[in-house]
Chain A
Amino acid sequence: MFVLVILVYGAVAALELWLWAERPWKKVLIYLLLTAAAAALASLIVVYGKLPVPEPIGFLGKLFKQWWQGGGKQ
């Protein structure tokens, strides 16, 4: 499944790049980077199932919950 996901993402990227009229290297680079990120995420989800979601400012949430006990959730 992991290989299949990578292949599908690669095939879609290759097809679209082939369809572009011009291929400036900067655009191609960004396109490939984003596609690689999407493929990596998809394959990680396929392999591990549930992935933790990063919370860069999650500590603020804990702070709010300390201030307002029970608020916000049913």
Chain B
Amino acid sequence: MKELVPDHQGMILVLMFIVGNTLVFPLGGLAGPDIWLAFLTATVLALPIILAMARVRSLMQGSTFFVGFERVLGKWPSRILAFLYGGFAWRLACYVVSDVSNFIQTVALPTTPPVVIATFLALLMLWAAKEGVEVLARFAVMVGKVVLAVLAIIFVLLLSQVDLGEFQPVLYNGFKPVLRGAFQILDFPFLETVVLFWVFDCFGRRVSPYKVFLPGFLAASLVLLIMVSTSLAVVGADRYALYYYPVWTAVGRINVSTFLTRLEAIVGVTFAIGSFVKMAVALLAASRCFAYAFGFSDYRFVVTPLAMGVIAGSRWFITTVLEVDQSAVETHSPDEIMFQVVIPLVVWAFAELKAKNGKANGSSQAGGGEEV
């Protein structure tokens, strides 16, 4: 059964996936006061990958994802890739669950073991992943409005605490810190979008992948740029990279006539909602990939074992809040470069070649027909 997601819902799903669990972390901290430049650089650098993914999906128009993918790469290469990306998506789900469980433990439930929180999160994402991408996209639209409204209100309230002098001097240490900050942002969260490539089953029209991936990515980039830059201007460029959760700290400083204070809990709620969408999408991608790699079109039967694996995996890859922070700010991990940059570009090149050969064969056949 085809799972068709309307363009606008897909776009919001992309937006929520990228904003998801990233809001509270010190994204691009290495760029210092030039964080806004790092965001713009990262957006420009990520665009070719996003466009390549959209192009590959566009070339599969009319067929479900795995049928189209097999047409592009062949049966066994596409199964091997699906298996590898299944592992990548499963690891991402583990990371997100670990992020959230450590965050909840740090700010709200210090005596609760993270594995208990991870179990509840795994149950939730198991339920969401079993419902499929259509339900997830509709859920993303519903909660996306709430999250964006909350972020807009927080942004307005933060303006009273902002010190624009924190952004100066511009490029004091040259462009290298900007580039390093940009690589941080590319690694997490911008190019994690490759996981979404495997989630959407089919699109309505040929241009739909562009209408889903591009505006979703750009909107997410804008939201993160605004929130992160505002937080940096509140807490200061020096301290921004030192805090585990700088946005949380910045929002904690909101004080409207001593009447409206302690609003950081709202950020916690938006973080939890966004993370839920992201972990469910990652689990869904992992399930789809593994099921296909093992030769099944139905993926729902592998969701439960993978979700149970996430509970253990969330304590495998990352165990402490320090490791969460390191994973959020680390860059150029080779496996991530491989999965987020190299393989998508290789797949795109193959898809283009295949499309070109297909066109050439089609035109030569058509030409032959005319001669006869």
Contact = CB atoms under 8 A, between A and B. Distances in A.
B319 interface: yes
Contacts, number: 83
Contacts of A39: 308
Interface in B305-351: 305-306, 308-309, 311-313, 315-317, 319, 326, 329-335, 337-338
A3 interface: no
A55 B309 contact: no
B305 A31 contact: yes
B290 A34 contact: yes
B294 A71 contact: no
Contacts of B319: 50
B180 interface: yes
Contacts of B311: 38, 42
- Determine the main DSSP class of A at the interface with B: helix
A69 to B, nearest CB: 12
Given A30-B294, A71-B332, A42 B312 contact: yes
A57 B338 contact: yes
A9 B296 contact: no
Contact of B334 (A27, A42, A60, A74): A60
A12 interface: yes
B335 A71 contact: no
Given A9-B308, A41-B309, A71-B180, A31 B316 contact: no
Interface in B38-64: none
A41 B310 CA distance: 10
A64 B332 contact: yes
B19 interface: no
A55 B335 CA distance: 8
- Size category of the B interface is 20 to 34
- Determine the main DSSP class of B at the interface with A: helix
B334 A73 contact: no
B180 A38 contact: no
A38 B334 contact: no
Contacts of A4: none
A12 B317 contact: no
A54 B334 CA distance: 13
B335 A56 contact: yes
Interface string A1-33: 000000001001100100010000011001100
Contacts of B332: 61, 64, 68, 71-72
A61 B317 contact: no
Given A57-B334, A71-B332, A30 B312 contact: no
B241 interface: yes
Contacts of A56: 335
A13 B305 contact: yes
Contact of B315 (A30, A35, A45): A45
B301 A27 contact: yes
A34 B302 CA distance: 8
Given A31-B305, A61-B334, A74-B29, A41 B180 contact: no
Interface in A40-64: 41-42, 45, 50-51, 53, 55-61, 64
Nearest to B317: A53
A33 B180 CA distance: 41
A73 B187 CA distance: 12
A55 B338 CA distance: 12
Nearest to B30: A74
B178 to A, nearest CB: 13
B330 A72 contact: yes
A58 B311 CA distance: 25
B312 A35 contact: no
9 closest Cβ pairs, A-B complex:
A34-B305, A38-B309, A60-B334, A42-B312, A72-B331, A41-B312, A35-B305, A38-B308, A61-B334
Interface of B: 29-30, 180, 183-184, 241, 290, 294-296, 301-302, 304-306, 308-309, 311-313, 315-317, 319, 326, 329-335, 337-338
